[in-house]
Structure 1
Amino acid sequence: MKEVNPKDTPRALAFDLWMKAPMPMVTLMKTLDVSPLVRLHRKRQDSFHMLLCWCIGRAAAQTEEFYLLPVGNKLIKYDRLAVNTVVATQNGGIATCDLPISPDLAQFSRDYQALTQLVRESGESHELGQDYMVIGTSALAEHEIDGAVNIYAGFYNNPFLIWGKYRKKWFRTTLPVSFQFHHTQMDGIPAAAFLERLQQEINHIHTK
């Protein structure tokens, strides 16, 4: 990671417009067809949540806006991305776990299993450090929700995805997803393109 001059990036105007805005976060909502993930989950017994997180990472890695993030009053450029997930711990609490994004599904699955198990048993969050731009996620997997708007704390500007329980109807399984991002990091068009890219990654996961 390194600090960059906003004027030397495509986000110069957005930095001037949104860094001091009282509410600079934007939320888009999209219903995804997650049928391929459900089929793979049943066929290989892979975690549905792990598969979705991998697809999120794959889509984000192909979206250049994810590599720039406003931190404090600075614009930081990253070389590496990670996905963060919430883990239920053995003591009845919750903790978070950073997962490095890998282009290889098998490697990501191994990391997911090892790191989430570590967090579950220790009860302590696992963080990869400041070298990673982290994409937050939160799954309310027991509940059907149509969308969510996350809190804005003023210091956590990272992009964040929230979803609930997937829905089965005939031969399709759908999942509404909410995607929140800082307007300095990206505009609506690349954010919508990321969600479309996420759907494409889901559609082709059987080929990975």
Structure 2
Amino acid sequence: MKREINPSDTSRATAFEMWMSSQQPMVTVFKTIDITRIVKLSHKTDFKFNMLMCYCIGKAANRIPEFLVLPEKGKLMKYDKIGINVIVPKAQGGINWCDIPFDDDINEFKQSYINLTKRASEEGEYINDFDLMIIGTSNLSEFEFDGVVNQYNNSWNNPFMAWGKYRSNLFRKYLKLSFQFHHVQMDGEQACRFLQFLQEEVDRIKI
């Protein structure tokens, strides 16, 4: 569920006044994280790497209250829950979008991830959940790059993360990623804390 809230009643009041009418309100932060633990887990279990990454993103985002608010069409909306969007290759060719509700229970999240991405792929169905504050993701695991700045079209204000192929250094695995967010939703402090929390969640994830 989502509802409109008064920006003046929130900690985002000043940001709303400063950035809501900005022509380019998006900010992008780049970071390299150590993903050794989830790489090992994905090799030893049936938990896919991308699913584990999305789960850790959801865990980290749930620790930042600003993720539950989002500017939309000149208004500030408050959400009850978050979800993770993934890009899914369609069986008949092309790509599809799939919104996955975040669940703190990793097995529940895994099942939703499997079921919904299968529908999006095999049935070619767009899976959209407009009641969730969606974090967009793009995983281009075949390619090495340092980061992505996504397009801004004034209708998609949601945070967005992208990463490519991870890199090895001795026995460790590292991933360069980019995190793009709307300045009304959060400041650099919250964005950087989120990425710090993401590293913590990756390091301590349990299956």
Mapping of residues 21-170 of structure 1, within 5 Å: 21-128=22-129, 130-170=130-170
Partners of 2:170 and 2:39 lie apart in 1 by 13
- 39-48 vs 17-26, which moves further: 39-48
Gapped regions of structure 2 (runs ≥ 5)? none
Partners of 2:125 and 2:104 lie apart in 1 by 27
- Aligned residue pairs, count: 206
Partners of 2:137 and 2:170 lie apart in 1 by 28
Partners of 1:125 and 1:35 lie apart in 2 by 32
Whichever residue aligns with residue 74 of structure 1, its letter is K
Structure 1 consecutive aligned stretches of length 4 or more whose deviation exceeds 2 Å: none
Gapped regions of structure 1 (runs ≥ 5)? none
Residue-by-residue CA offset, 1:14-36 (whole Å, 9 max, x unaligned): 00000011100000000010000
Identity over aligned pairs, percent:
48
Residue-by-residue CA offset, 1:48-98 (whole Å, 9 max, x unaligned): 000000000011111100000000100000011100000000011100100
Query: Counterpart in 2 of 1:205?
Result: 205
Q: TM-score, normalised by structure 2?
A: 0.98
Q: Is the 8 A contact 1:135 1:160 kept in 2?
A: yes
Whichever residue aligns with residue 205 of structure 1, its letter is I
**How far is the alpha carbon of 1:123 from its aligned partner?**
1.1
RMSD: 0.7
Partners of 1:124 and 1:98 lie apart in 2 by 11
Q: Is the 8 A contact 1:57 1:82 kept in 2?
A: yes
Whichever residue aligns with residue 159 of structure 2, its letter is P
Q: Is the 8 A contact 1:158 1:181 kept in 2?
A: yes
**How far is the alpha carbon of 1:125 from its aligned partner?**
1.0
Whichever residue aligns with residue 202 of structure 2, its letter is I
